[in-house]
Structures are given as C-alpha cells and as structure tokens.
Homo-oligomer: A and B are copies of this chain.
Amino acid sequence: MIVALSGGIGGAKLALGLSHLLPPEELLIVANTGDDFEHLGLAISPDIDTLTYALAGLDNQELGWGRRDETWSFMETLAGIGGETWFRLGDRDLALHVERTRRLRAGESLSTVTTDIARRLGARPRILPMSDDPVRTRIRSDDGWIDFQHWFVRDQTRPPVHAIEFAGAAEARPQPGLLAALRARPRAVVICPSNPFISIEPILAVPGLRAAIAGCEAPVIAVSPIIAGQAVKGPTARMFGQAGIAPSAAAAAARYAGLLTHYVMEPGDDATGIAAQVIHAPTLMRSLEDKVALARAVLAAA
C-alpha cells in the first residue's frame, strides 16, 4: 500500500500519476480537509473534490480547477438575487456539495460520503479525509483571523500571513482507515507536492498522524512543491517569504523534518542541508506523461 498525503491541484497531479502505476487497492490518498468550509449552507471540501475529479478524469483542464463539462446557471442566478458569488460553484460541482451536506446532516461520516461519491464518479483508488472531525485552517493577517477560503479565494491570498492555525485539529481523530493503513506496514508514505503550510501540515496536525507516519517503518518520500525558488501555482513561495524563510526545495523539505527518508526535487535545485536521501527528477507536471514519470520516480524510491 502507498499512502499519499495530498492537498488540491498539485497533489492531485501526482496522485493521478500514482494511480496509473498502482492497482487501486494499493493506493490510499489522504485529503487535507483544513480548507473545508461551510458556504451558502453547504459543506464544501475543495481538496477531496479536486482529488475525486482528477482521479475520475472529470477535472476541468481549461479552468485548472473544478470539474469538466461544467455549467454556471446556478451562479448566474444567484448573482441576480443578491447571493454571494466570490466562491464559484458550478452546477455539476454543486451536486456534490448538496448531497454531501445532506448525508453529513443525516449522520454519515465524511469518509463514507467521500468514498461513495468517488466510487460513483469513477475514481478508483480510495480517497479518505485525514479525519472525519472538522479541522478548519485559519489565517491571521493584518486585521486578525480570517477563515481560510476567505483568504484564499475571496481575498485571493493578498492579505499577508502572520500566523496559521488549524482550528479543531487538537480534538480531531485520525480517520480510522488511514490509521489502519499506516499500521499495516505500507510500502511508502508519499507527501505530494502540495503547499506544506496549508495542505500537508493540517494533515500532520491531526493528533497521532505524524507519529503514525514516523513509526510506520516505511520510506517517507516527499516531492518538492518548489522549483527554482518558485511554486508552480498558488501562494506557496510567498508564504515562505512571509514566514521569514527564503523559498527553496530545501526549505520545503525542512517543513517535514524528522519524517522524511527521501526527497524528490527538481534537477538543478540546491539540495544542501536536506536530511533525507535526495532524488533529482523533473517535478513540473504538465502532461499525464509528466505525472506518471514523477510517480515512477517516487515509487522507485519506495
């Protein structure tokens, strides 16, 4: 079993690559739920859905987010009646949020709903939330604490980040299937090239998960989210800067200090000071071939 920890877009690319090389029963993808939120009364799980869409071949490749063949009638109408439109929900995407909200309110767990929806949409590997309990990433900026999606989407990551907290993490229990997989001697734990601060660290903040990973006796292989000091997408590099750290592959590796056995990073990037076995491999994933090739490099380390 390969256990892969992932945020949204970047992580989903590697997860898709891994899914092309592994039988579905040998891949467990653990989704960050720190950026889940309730919006318009709906339970929205952006990273779970991004992973589901990518693994089901339903991701919207033109937009780079959301699902393919999307329509926008709901959002257009909502705008016309004065609703909030800063978080764009497509008509097809909305079905997942409405159904998830209904099932959670009926008492089902997030992991049951996630697994079922992913299966019905055609995603073959198992996708599990890090926890069935709510964990909510919050950002402290100039005007105090704000909810993650307000910072990330509404404010387009513009407010400077002074601190990050994962509200609820201290009381959250690791998803039981994930814990069982880590205890059953996985072949490797893979940390996808997601933003460490807001995609991977919320997962590691769930009590017991970091220790279960450290203690599982499997290689722990991270892929750098930084190439030549830059993130492929999103605020990762800038967040290093705001934390007073020069963004680099090595700086990203340092976020996982004590966990890593292997680190996959871009050829040419400086590996000085990385406390893990370094594998240089192309980490920019544009095509499916790129994703599979990077997944192959990761599995070679495993």
Contacts and interface: CB of A to CB of B under 8 A. Distances in A.
Interface stretch (A10-18, A22-30, A96-104): A96-104
A120 interface: yes
A75 B94 CA distance: 10
Contact of A121 (B41, B81, B105): B81
Interface string A57-101: 000000000000111011111101111000000111111101101
Count of chain copies: 2
A116 interface: yes
- Interface class of chain A by DSSP: helix
Contacts of A42: 98
A171 B91 CA distance: 38
B80 A121 contact: yes
Interface residues of A, number: 32
A117 B40 contact: no
Given A71-B71, A73-B70, A73-B73, A40 B92 contact: no
A40 B102 CA distance: 6
Contact of A101 (B41, B69, B99, B116): B41
B78 A99 contact: yes
Interface of A: 40-42, 69-71, 73-78, 80-83, 90-96, 98-99, 101-102, 105, 116-117, 120-121
7 A-B pairs with least C-beta separation: A73-B91, A77-B95, A91-B91, A78-B95, A77-B92, A71-B73, A83-B99
